[in-house]
Amino acid sequence: MIQLYNLTLDELTDLFAKWGEPAYRARQVWRWLYVQKVTDAAEMTNLPAPLRERLAREASVNMLEPVRRLFSADGRTVKWLFRLPDGQLIESVLMGYADGRRTACISTQAGCAMGCVFCATGQMGFARNLSVGEIVMQAVEVARWLESRGERLSNVVFMGMGEPLHNYDAVLAAIRRLNAPEGLGIGQRHITLSTVGLVPQIRRFADEKLQVKLAVSLHAATDEERSALLPVNKRWPLSELIGACHYYVEKTGRRVTFEWALIAGENDTMAQAHALGSLLEGLLCHVNLIPLNPTSGYEGLPPDKQRVAAFQKILADHGIRSTVRIRRGIDINAGCGQLKAEVLKEEHRA
């Protein structure tokens, strides 16, 4: 079965050439995929019937089977659990903001190999990389859902399940397709990639000269503390990671966003705040402080408001800007990997 969303426009053109179809048919199909966002080849009404039938027989426009869809109590967050053709489950989230942004948070891997202790996806382990089509289709699904309500997808963040830079080629191809005017047309500045800190890939990403925003999951400012939370730190310690971030800023002229999940009594201490202040000195950056979203596989809890404010005050004293962000849709397990974990538990019980 040919998965149409896995093909580039050139590959689709080649396929149709092989089938003896004129080249403009590829562009027509492309529009059905990325503009009209059809779910079935039968809907491609400007194609001759025999071609539609051949597509229906030999190709698929649908790799994501929705298994669950949940809405947060405030109605602004929607979460999908999709089943892939081989049975793997992945999650995608839509977040709506008061300023009109409609952001899709998408997955890049089934599971994750990085093993961050507080992360529901990390607790599951790694199954496999997603294909370009499986990545792009999540955004297509969210966009279709929005368009049926008269809204448009404006932003995409690679912050779902998996480590995007561990699936580098597919993620890069997905970024290009999301961005292409004849793809989904999402501006590069409206795309954010979040990484746990794979140093060689951050440098390579800097060399791509994209305008995509880079977020780095930092979570601790000393190697001892960071290695305890994020095993990847043993491979690429802070000095190398911060070095790669400086390289990124030099190459792109863009600031780096650091993510910091605040965990009570763990990385919310004044000592960590001061260490963070020193670590980021002279780096064009912003820090997002996110009170931990508790998961079943980790005992940590978020700190109280006063403690968050005290941490932020120390950063400000170091001249570092930060924003406190509340994880959206906690009531629907919208944290990374949590819905899948929940459904797997249910299936296990059944």
Span from 82-90, 110-118, 148-156, 252-260 in contact with ligand SF4 (CB under 6 A):
110-118
Q: Does 217 bind ligand SAH (CB under 6 A)?
A: yes
Smallest distance, ligand SF4 to C-beta of residue 114, A: 4
Q: Are 138 and 107 within 8 A, CB to CB? A: yes
Options 92, 167, 179, 194; binder of ligand SAH; rule CB under 6 A: 194
β-pairing verdict for 213-217 and 102-105 = unpaired
SS3 140: helix
53 is catalytic: no
- Site residues for ligand SF4, 181-200, by CB under 6 A, read 196
- Site residues for ligand SAH, 245-304, by CB under 6 A, read 259, 261, 290, 292-293, 295
Q: 70-81 in b/e burial notation, b at 16+ Cβ within 10 A?
A: bebeeeebbbbb
Which of 106, 218, 230 shows the shortest CA–CA distance to 171? 106
91 is catalytic: yes
Q: Distance of alpha carbon 245 from its chain centroid, rounded? A: 19
Q: Does 315 bind ligand SF4 (CB under 6 A)?
A: no
Catalytic residue among 112, 116, 245, 336: 336
Read off the tokens for 190.
């409206």
**Residue that the structure tokens 């995409």 belong to:** 156
Please give the single-letter amino acid code of residue 28. Answer: Q
Q: Does 341 bind ligand SF4 (CB under 6 A)?
A: no
SS3 232: helix
CB atoms within 10 A of CB 29: 28
Q: Using N-to-C axis directions, what is the helix angle for 168-179 and 199-207, rounded to 10°?
A: 30
Which residue number, 112 or 334, has a Cβ lying nearer to ligand SF4?
112
Q: Does 138 bind ligand SAH (CB under 6 A)?
A: no
Name which of ligand SF4, ligand SAH, none residue 248 binds, using a CB cut-off of 5 to 8 Å depending on partner kind.
none
Active site residues: 91, 336
Question: Which spans of this chain sit near ligand SAH (rule: CB under 6 A)?
Answer: 116, 118-119, 159, 163, 194-196, 217, 259, 261, 290, 292-293, 295, 327, 335-336
Question: Which spans of this chain sit near ligand SF4 (rule: CB under 6 A)?
Answer: 112, 114-116, 119, 121-122, 162-163, 196, 217, 336
